[in-house]
A and B are shown apart, each in its own frame.
Chain A
Amino acid sequence: MTFRLPVMMLVMFTLVALIIWGRSASEYHVPASQEVSTEWSERQMLLYRAMAGPVPAIAADLAVLEVFNIYANSQQTPLSSKDIWWSQLHNQLRTGQAMDPYFRDIYRLTEGLLAYEANKMQASVDLLSKSEPYLNSSDPLLIASFIAHQELHNDELAFELANRASQKPDAQPFTVGFASSLLKKNSGCRAALQFLAYRLESMPEKYQQGIRNRIKRLQSDAACKNDMNGAQVSN
């Protein structure tokens, strides 16, 4: 059976049109479920590691991508029901840290999202302080120290972390200064705002909102205003 070329073309175009129609008509998007397990266990991490085999670093990269995804989803969720996303965010960051503890993006997202978006301060300090054996950078420990001081009001832990940060090879005078001001217990709102501004500079714009909110809260805080005025008078 042979077809002439125009007939053949017509049949082919019809089939292409049918494929396009069929595909668009059968599209079905499964809505993202929020009801997922938020339990974290060491065994789960070991299973991930077994599945990752020779490429655990890729598993860490995927965890970071999942963090971006969770953050994007959380922005479309009402404030009252965001907790489920934050729990997942914490799990992904822990997975990423366990898979590739050298990966700096994990610590940066812990600071930017877990601490200042999810308000999981203790969890952030725990995760950031895990960087110590792996990174030469003082940054994660310094941030952990700042969170411990400013948010957890645990100056003992804050000093210990700042002290550890100041022993890192790349420790800046700022780190040492922060540790010493903690020791003297004279760091107030001014130091906190300076520190947050310093962190804001190196955070991509997309993820700055949490830190900006924190700065605004500090600036509008009455005790903080008094502290700032006091500092100006003394200057």
Chain B
Amino acid sequence: MTKFYFLTRFTLKEIYSQRIYQILAGMLVVIPWLMLIPTSLFMLDIGKVFIDLLFLCLHGWALVYIFFIACPLLARDLEQGTCHIFLTLPMSRTQYYWSRFAGITSGFIPLLIVFLVSSSLAFTFAESIWGTYIQTGANTSFIYGTLLILLPYIALTAVLFLIASSATGLPEITVFLFSVWLLCWTIPPVLGALQSADIQSSTPDAIVLIIKVANQLLPDLSGSDISLALAHNNPLQSFQVIGYCTHHLAYALLAMLLAITMFKRRDLS
């Protein structure tokens, strides 16, 4: 357990010391305030537009963190052989992988705190300007939505570990992870489109089957219904929220277990 905490803390320190991480944290202080500018162009649902923009920003920084901080960190371990240093502590490959995952996932927390604090202050300011155009409880909905939207990115981080367990280096990890993310982004709306009788009739059954299988294999990154409902301050059913959280956490665990199985069999020499 001591080794686990050691490497988790070490990973966090490694992440904090990176300039891109510090710049990202600094940008998250400013961006929510900048989002007030496009928000002011709208008429009635100003609070909703502000939440939409903040959610978009959240997707953006979560992706930046995964692609530009987490991916290179893990790739460096494999390419430069840094992982050998830890594995000779002695530390098992399982411990190494879980500690790295815990460290990278914990790296979300400071960014999340900065983002939430800055956005909440911007919300308070927006409420003082636009008053009734921002629905009561919009800020709470935003915080709730932020926590829910971040869950798929933990699943995506686990997918990153799964890819890294057999990848040779950064280009391979980035390309495969980007492909997974792109598929996760587009498949749910494509499945939604397939519910239209017109489209269903003109799509071959084999394609429909492939899309459905791919959807089952990949984490559901969309969460668009949830973000849409929360932006309008519409309540979510607790059963739906429990299902959503279970889905992503279970997916993250499963991907990590598979990743560890593959990493244990990998020839690192």
Q: Do A and B come from one complex?
A: yes
Q: Which residues of A contact B (CB under 8 A)?
A: 42-43, 46, 49-58, 61, 64-65, 68, 100, 102-105, 108-109, 204
> In the complex, what residues of B have CB within 8 A of residue A42's CB?
196, 198
A65 adjacent to B41 (CB under 8 Å): yes
Q: Which residues of B contact A (CB under 8 A)?
A: 38, 41-45, 48-49, 52-53, 55-56, 59, 149, 185-186, 188-190, 192-193, 196, 198-199, 221-224, 227-228, 231-232, 234
A105 interface neighbour in B44, B56, B221, Cβ under 8 Å: B44
B228 adjacent to A58 (CB under 8 Å): no
List 25 contacting pairs A-B, 8 Å CB cutoff, sorted by A.
Answer: A49-B189, A50-B189, A50-B190, A51-B186, A53-B185, A53-B186, A54-B149, A54-B221, A54-B222, A54-B224, A55-B59, A57-B55, A57-B228, A57-B231, A58-B53, A64-B42, A65-B38, A102-B228, A102-B232, A104-B44, A105-B44, A105-B45, A105-B49, A108-B44, A204-B43
> In the complex, what residues of B have CB within 8 A of residue A51's CB?
186
> In the complex, what residues of B have CB within 8 A of residue A58's CB?
52-53, 56
Which residue of chain B has its CB nearest to the CB of A207?
A: B43
> In the complex, what residues of A have CB within 8 A of residue B49's CB?
61, 105
Query: CA of A100 to CA of B234 in the docked complex: distance in angstroms?
Result: 13
State whether A50 and B48 are in contact (beta carbons under 8 Å apart), knowing that A55-B224, A105-B43 are contacts in the complex.
no
The smallest beta-carbon distance between B43 and chain A, in angstroms, is 5
State whether A57 and B234 are in contact (beta carbons under 8 Å apart), knowing that A68-B41, A104-B45 are contacts in the complex.
no
> In the complex, what residues of A have CB within 8 A of residue B53's CB?
58, 61
Name 11 extra pairs, CB < 8 A, besides A53-B188, A104-B45, A204-B43. A42-B196, A42-B198, A46-B192, A50-B186, A55-B224, A57-B52, A58-B52, A103-B48, A105-B42, A105-B44, A108-B43
B43 adjacent to A54 (CB under 8 Å): no
Query: CA of A37 to CA of B4 in the docked complex: distance in angstroms?
Result: 59
> In the complex, what residues of A have CB within 8 A of residue B192's CB?
46, 49
The smallest beta-carbon distance between A110 and chain B, in angstroms, is 12
A61 interface neighbour in B42, B188, B198, Cβ under 8 Å: B42
The smallest beta-carbon distance between B184 and chain A, in angstroms, is 8
> In the complex, what residues of B have CB within 8 A of residue A65's CB?
38, 41
State whether A56 and B196 are in contact (beta carbons under 8 Å apart), knowing that A61-B42, A105-B45, A204-B43 are contacts in the complex.
no
> In the complex, what residues of B have CB within 8 A of residue A55's CB?
52, 55-56, 59, 224, 227
> In the complex, what residues of A have CB within 8 A of residue B188's CB?
53
B52 interface neighbour in A43, A46, A53, A61, Cβ under 8 Å: A61
A54 interface neighbour in B41, B45, B48, B223, Cβ under 8 Å: B223
Which residue of chain B has its CB nearest to the CB of A101?
A: B228
Query: CA of A100 to CA of B52 in the docked complex: distance in angstroms?
Result: 11
Query: CA of A102 to CA of B141 in the docked complex: distance in angstroms?
Result: 16
A46 adjacent to B196 (CB under 8 Å): yes
B45 adjacent to A53 (CB under 8 Å): no
